[in-house]
Structure 1
């Protein structure tokens, strides 16, 4: 059984919408506003973390910071905000495809005011590819130049680093080590991770090893598995699914909720049509007891 010592969440497809569970403590949906089904749940029970996914269409647009301030005025206690989603990747890969110079200006316009209010902000989440760190170095340099005035040099500040990874555990540990060296004394949120398109044995081994690793590291604050409810809608491979075809918890689904192994494989049971599956959503959601946040299937 896996009992997590750190806040965990799930982000996966819309077909198996779930009711809010006590097993999870936070979520994000790549958007500035919470999901309607969870908007009335206190932040102290199930925290929503807004995200500025990419750059607005209009230069100088500050609608993101306005939206977050309005949320706070309405009584939603926003304490953390996530930055750009994979700005070093093209739209076709799910990235926000944003150059670091433009990103720096958008950050100063929309994220810095929130940081000045005391809200914790996460560094943009680049891919695990070789372009990620160079992108971030340029971004931090350009952002620091924007917030500096005259001879007074300022640093573009952030509170935690966000990590995305879709390879082996050894690669994940190395990637995290590179970020720790690049940004010392910063905590980490692992906001997307999995060992994509692997055998069931390797997928499960990666899950267990990485979860135990995260829980041992003091600088890892939170982690969020990138998975799917069903094998036929998983873009990280069928073996990463948390429910079987007939809606039962797989081993990974059970482990993520701190439960015992079920011995159920993602492909077990008869697959149902999308139309039928939608009507079964509450049943499936009640079974898994997990928050299904829409992340879209690219």
Structure 2
């Protein structure tokens, strides 16, 4: 009986991993990661509400030098950000060698966000808002706590009052269309506009920015790389959790010869904390870069059962704790601060129709795990 139980557990574990890392299946995931139903172009949504070797060179990260050491070293270093009970990923691979100098703090010459406080990326300061409420100042204030560091809106329409409230704004070049490029270039000509430039939104998805790695690398060199000289940090194109994302990112890094990539952006939608943890560790091992998780939710896009409310709260508590205890997680943005999650299980909502946080939103912005 015991052996049968162990076999069942093993098979269940393999099934979970297969959903995230296995080949694209014929279900909705294979037609655009199936969160296409929700994942239409986010930037216009926010705007409507507002207006009515020569590998990529990797700059020093914001994290301590222990970020790419082994788990044992991290646990014995007093300055390590990871608690001894946390589970760490393997050391950084040689695919993206880092400089040997001591990493510096994030650039604080842009905007008035938490980077200037020296807390960004450290325990208790890793929440960011994936923002869909435009210039709703009351909501903007309601979702800003000492734990919430960054804010982005899938574009360059920085909400009024973001700087005064202490948000770091992270402008994004969403895709390669001329209107996106023109809006990005115009916004980036402003002084003190933001702190981290985010790369393209899910270019591995046909329903999103949808471009091949070589095209993305060319656009990066033309429009994102020049921002480095202005003091901006950079975050890679954000992969969806579709299995083709890892290969796309690998090809992009090869094509982006001479590019400066400070952080790696990724998205994740699936069920259960263990699946998220495995996914993030796998991506971190690929390049050894600090990770910005710019979208995530305990959401099933594979036609299976959705998580219950209790399961979502349990998931979020485990995730928040993991982010705090993992030095290579720079920040994480639950999807999303908006009234309509566009196809995502509404139990994941962070915002009430009245504008303030739901119980789940309150848990997130107060880092209450």
Question: Does the 8 Å CA contact 1:85/1:126 hold for their aligned counterparts?
Answer: yes
Asked which structure has the greater RCO (Cα within 8 Å, sep 6+), the reply is: 1
Alpha-carbon deviation of 1:248?
6.9
Alpha-carbon deviation of 1:78?
2.8
Q: Distance in 1 between matches of 2:247 and 2:311?
A: 31
Alpha-carbon deviation of 1:181?
1.2
Does 244-253 or 104-113 show the bigger shift? 244-253
Is the partner of 2:285 in helix, strand or coil? helix
Query: Quick one: which of 280, 284, 288 aligns to 1:180?
Result: 284
1:98 equivalenced with 2:200 (yes/no)? no
Provide the residue aligned with 2:81 in structure 1.
Answer: none
Provide the residue aligned with 1:270 in structure 2.
Answer: none
1:38 equivalenced with 2:161 (yes/no)? yes
1:70 equivalenced with 2:159 (yes/no)? no
Alpha-carbon deviation of 1:162?
0.9
Question: Does the 8 Å CA contact 1:86/1:127 hold for their aligned counterparts?
Answer: yes
1:49 equivalenced with 2:157 (yes/no)? no
Q: Distance in 2 between matches of 1:172 and 1:259?
A: 18
Q: Distance in 2 between matches of 1:259 and 1:222?
A: 12
TM-score calculated relative to the size of structure 1? 0.70
How many residue pairs align between the two structures?
A: 236
Alpha-carbon deviation of 1:104?
0.9
Provide the residue aligned with 1:235 in structure 2.
Answer: 343
Alpha-carbon deviation of 1:139?
1.0
Provide the residue aligned with 1:257 in structure 2.
Answer: 365
Question: Does the 8 Å CA contact 1:234/1:241 hold for their aligned counterparts?
Answer: no
Quote the RMSD (CA, aligned, Å): 2.9
Question: Does the 8 Å CA contact 1:234/1:240 hold for their aligned counterparts?
Answer: no
Per-residue CA deviation, residues 243-298 of structure 1 (Å, 9 max, x unaligned), is: 4567775321221232879xxxxxxxxxxxxxxxxxxxxxxxxxxxxxxxxxxxxx
Q: Unaligned 5+ residue runs, structure 1?
A: 145-154, 262-298
TM-score calculated relative to the size of structure 2? 0.57
Q: Distance in 2 between matches of 1:70 and 1:240?
A: 36
Change (3 A) 1:205 1:100: same
Change (3 A) 1:243 1:118: closer
